Amino acid sequence: MDEHTIPMETLETIKQEARQAGADGMDISARIHDITVRAIEQRTLNVAEIKAVLASVSAGVNLGLAERGGDIAQSLRAAVSGMDQALIKFAQSTQLMIEEMLTSGRESHVDELKQSLQTLRDLEHLLIDAIRQTARTSTGMLVMEANRVASHLKTSGSDSGGQMRDALTQLTTGVRIAIHSGKVSAELGTREIASRMALVASGLLTGAGEALRNKVK
C-alpha cells in the first residue's frame, strides 16, 4: 500500500474537529458526516490517504466521547453512521469518475483507474479497520462498544459496502459493453481491468451473500 502524503497538522485538525463533535454530542452523525466528506474530498483516490482520514476521524470521535462520558453507545453508532454515509457519497463520486475514465480510452488513465478501483473495493474494510484501530487505544466502555460496532459491520455489512458492491457490478457491466462497442480500447489494458473488476465484484457479492446468511441465523 502506498504511503499517504497528508500533513500531520491536517490530520490533527480533522481529529480535533471530530473530537469536538463527540464531546458536544449534538447532531453527531451529521457533523461527523460533514467532517469526513470535507476531508475525503480534498484527497486523491489513494487507499492510504482514505485510511488516514478515517483513522483521524474515528480517533477524534472516541476522544470526544471519552471526555463527555455517560451513555456513549448510541453516540458512537451515530458517528460511525456519519462516516459510513460519507463513504457512500465518496463511492458514488468515484464510480462517476471511473466511468468517465473508461469512456475516454486514454492510456494515461489506466494506472489511475486501477488505483480508483482498489480504493472503491477497500472502502468498507477501511472503515472497519479504523474503528478497530481506535478500539485498541480506547479504554472502558469505548473498547467494548467500538469492537461491537466493528463486528456488526463485518458480519452484516455497511451501507457504503452495499454502495461499493453495486458500483462494481455496474462498472463491470459497463466496461464490457464499452469494449464490445469499441468505445474503450482493449490495447490500453482494459480487458485485464474488466477481468479484475469481474473477479472483485464476484468475490464481494459472495461475501455479501455470506453476510446475509449470517444475519438470518
pLDDT in tens, 89-114: 888 888 887 777 767 655 545 667 77
The answer to whether residue 2 is domain-embedded is no
- Is 80 within a domain? yes
* Number of domains composing the chain: 1
Q: What phi and psi, each to the nearest 5 degrees, are found at residue 188? A: -85, 10
Residue 187 is assigned to a structural domain of this protein: yes
**DSSP string over 61-84:** HHHHHHHH-S--HHHHHHHHHHHH
Q: What is the pLDDT of residues 176-204, one digit of tens each?
A: 666 566 655 554 445 555 555 555 444 44
Report residue 25 as a C-alpha cell.
454530542
Q: Which residues of 22-38 are buried (b: 16+ CB within 10 A; e: fewer)?
A: bbebeebbebbbebbbe
| Cell digits of residue 35 | 467532517
Q: Give a yes or no: residue 160 inside a domain.
A: yes
Residue 13: inside a domain, yes or no?
A: yes
- With respect to residue 163, please indicate whether it lies within any of the assigned structural domains: yes
Which contiguous run of DSSP H or E holds residue 210? helix 190-216
Tell me which DSSP letter residue 108 carries. Answer: G
Answer whether residue 3 is part of any domain.
no
Rounded Cα distance, 61 and 144, in Å: 15
151 within domain boundaries: yes
For position 74, what pLDDT does the model report? 92
Which domain covers residue 57, as residue numbers?
8-216
Q: What pTM was computed for the model?
A: 0.77
